[in-house]
Structure 1
């Protein structure tokens, strides 16, 4: 009885080719080009075909376990660790941790298959890529730096929600600065920018969204203003251009980086038990270095576009909140609900109606400049407190819910608060 052979499509193609070689209709060199094999492999296959027929072309490994299969002990240890520590990790990040922290030798695809089989990871269907106009990366490091703030539960339930300020280089995709702050404010960006400038120097341009920190969003700014925000004025003094994107897709590099950070950084903070901003900021340089080692790319040009800070550029004053005031006849001015009295050896008429610049640091220290020279002053009187101006992004955090009444508060003795009974039933004296 003839034996039935199970052959793959590739093996059937090889069988047909061997038959053509046997019938002298094909040379071994031509067969090698057709099958994409070497002539030496064709000779080996032809010898097997002449000796055993079609059975000689069937793989001897069929039905047997692979030599590259995952070791049972390694597989079990990986599963235990996935369930214990990395149940909500993605396959790529879980593979990194298993390899680096636990020295398990297995591929990323093996981890992905394990997680899918155990229901820890659900493969996603490929989405149709949206069509956006392509923009080539800048050529040099420091030519364009994208900046943004990401408000997220970075410490999950272990700590308060805060904002991560992210600076990423457009040419290399390298994280240049990461800094946790309570809110996305002018002084927060100044603090992160100072770290950046002291580490790398001045880039040519910052690329941001249209947040009010970077751009005056009034259609018709007041004539008394310069048309620049505080951050815009500071960057103008440092000769750093600010560009604002019209859509999130226009600055997609930092948007995608924020999504990656909200996955990877959150899990790194959890693994290290970090639950406050001070400890997290101390850890960020280590995380930034590891992130850049994995994901940064080489720029097209080796030229570094950063410029050094000049000796005359005083960051303490440039990165301060500055407002212009006009001195009164008695040399006083009002700023932030306080009245400042100028103490000067000059005659009073020399400074009357003079335009001065009030500079306030994040610590609340105030310097008053006249022609770029500080003026001595004393606090004369505290003005009456007025309404505070609150940014829309921090409105929810500024508005606090009223405190709950105490358990013995008279309000709790009202009838509609006594187990749903009306006041007539709840009162021991009844009503008239």
Structure 2
């Protein structure tokens, strides 16, 4: 029994010891003990003989207190932990295991990497985390029956570039990523562009499920009763229903996808050195294929609810911003702080007092339509300067910020160089007293600034040229 003092028996070995001891004492038949221990009678007789010769220590496994035959090499474990600390310290065990295999030829099991990261303090086990409460929510049965859409404003390129927005489309039945689109801001035109790519790739789903953002639900719905937005009107023309969730957990598929993307996609962009939205949109296609291979679920029904686009459904005309504007007596149309001068013709004079359709395309083009035909016009920007506290619409904000930044740069340059301001009359008088022969420098005025901004955003006549379709077009 000296061996038992040095080696501790497990509960299973202790139960086996009691049964074999009963066989040695003659209290239990060997065949009966074999039934209790799920062993053969011959094995029970061997264990009884070992107990008589060696005591209780004879029933302990010979592998006890010895290293496992399946243990990993200590050098490989140290190398794996060093690589993870250096390059993948904020990775999860699953993704870190994949990167060790793909990039460093370190072949380890996912659970082995998890245990190594836990021992190194790089990962917290799930049992030690605060538990979360999740209510059951059944998936839709068909692929393409319900698509959850949402935008995630995040530092996708970390310190390499400015933060931007990622528009995410997730199928409710399978959790598949249907579309990923990087854009500067979450606007109607951004969703128009992303939805166009979706429709051309997959077809028309039954419905889109979103939050109560102003792109999907009018902010004045409580007062006016009109909940149809430009995005909702476009989807209605395509015969696609749109629904708004009452809370974020209601669209949990896309919310959960945000967490995974903010972890995996950010690191994949970092490893590939991607720092522009154009390159990220190109890489998104291969990332979605890898993501769906890992996380997509099979639908309960094999039926695909997507419908093809009809020949009479023109996406160029449907995915536009449409408003109604009245023609004044001077043949002008005011829309979004811009006055459009119509040609003085007999046909156009008949339009005085009528409401015309003003269509704004994602690429910045403006069309004024009467009876289905586009009219010729000359734009005149009414926004000549920035007033403090002025109310600016979201779709106009990009142009306003450009003007504000240019004005601020002009004021800073004037202050640094000591140029005379409008209120410093004494300095203005002294500035006129120059040495003979010096050339008078022309001051860059506010009118010059606005003219330069309009020149970059508008042409002197005709439609507005194409601009960056990812941002609300400026004029």
Q: Give your verdict on TM over 0.5.
A: yes
Alignment match, 1:341: 342
Q: CA 1:9–1:328 in 2, change beyond 3 Å: closer, same or farther?
A: same
- Give a deviation string over 1:280-301, Cα, whole Å, max 9, x none: 1111111111000000000000
Asked if residue 271 in structure 1 is aligned to residue 253 in structure 2, the reply is: no
Alignment match, 1:90: 92
Q: Distance in 2 between matches of 1:165 and 1:347?
A: 42
Q: Secondary structure at the match of 1:279?
A: helix
Matches within 5 A, 1:113-192: 113-123=115-125, 125-130=128-133, 132=135, 134-192=136-194
Alignment match, 1:376: 375
Q: Distance in 1 between matches of 2:307 and 2:101?
A: 40
Q: Distance in 2 between matches of 1:193 and 1:342?
A: 36
Q: CA 1:222–1:98 in 2, change beyond 3 Å: closer, same or farther?
A: same
For structure 1, the 5+ residue unaligned runs are: 412-432
Q: Secondary structure at the match of 2:192?
A: helix
Matches within 5 A, 1:8-407: 8-20=10-22, 23=26, 25=28, 28=31, 32=35, 37=38, 41-43=39-41, 45-53=43-51, 54-123=56-125, 125-130=128-133, 132=135, 134-222=136-224, 227-328=227-328, 331-336=331-336, 337-341=338-342, 346=347, 348-349=349-350, 351-371=351-371, 373-379=372-378, 381-385=380-384, 389-391=392-394, 398=401, 405=412
CA contact 2:30–2:45 (8 Å) conserved in 1: no
Shifted more, 207-216 versus 70-79: the winner is 70-79
- Count of paired positions: 399
Q: Distance in 2 between matches of 1:20 and 1:304?
A: 67
- Give the superposition deviation at 1:345: 7.5
For structure 2, the 5+ residue unaligned runs are: 420-475
Q: Distance in 2 between matches of 1:170 and 1:63?
A: 51
Q: Distance in 2 between matches of 1:360 and 1:178?
A: 24
Q: Distance in 2 between matches of 1:380 and 1:319?
A: 23
TM-score norm. by structure 1 comes to 0.83
Q: Distance in 1 between matches of 2:408 and 2:185?
A: 22
TM-score norm. by structure 2 comes to 0.76
Q: CA 1:366–1:28 in 2, change beyond 3 Å: closer, same or farther?
A: farther
- Give the superposition deviation at 1:375: 2.5
Shifted more, 270-279 versus 382-391: the winner is 382-391
Q: CA 1:222–1:170 in 2, change beyond 3 Å: closer, same or farther?
A: same
- Give the superposition deviation at 1:239: 1.2
Q: Secondary structure at the match of 1:306?
A: coil
Q: Secondary structure at the match of 1:127?
A: coil
Specify which structure has the higher proportion of helix. Answer: 2
Q: Distance in 2 between matches of 1:307 and 1:126?
A: 44
Q: Distance in 1 between matches of 2:251 and 2:44?
A: 59
Alignment match, 2:456: none
Q: Secondary structure at the match of 1:231?
A: helix
Q: Tell me how large the CA RMSD over aligned residues is.
A: 3.0
Shifted more, 202-211 versus 10-19: the winner is 10-19
CA contact 2:323–2:357 (8 Å) conserved in 1: yes
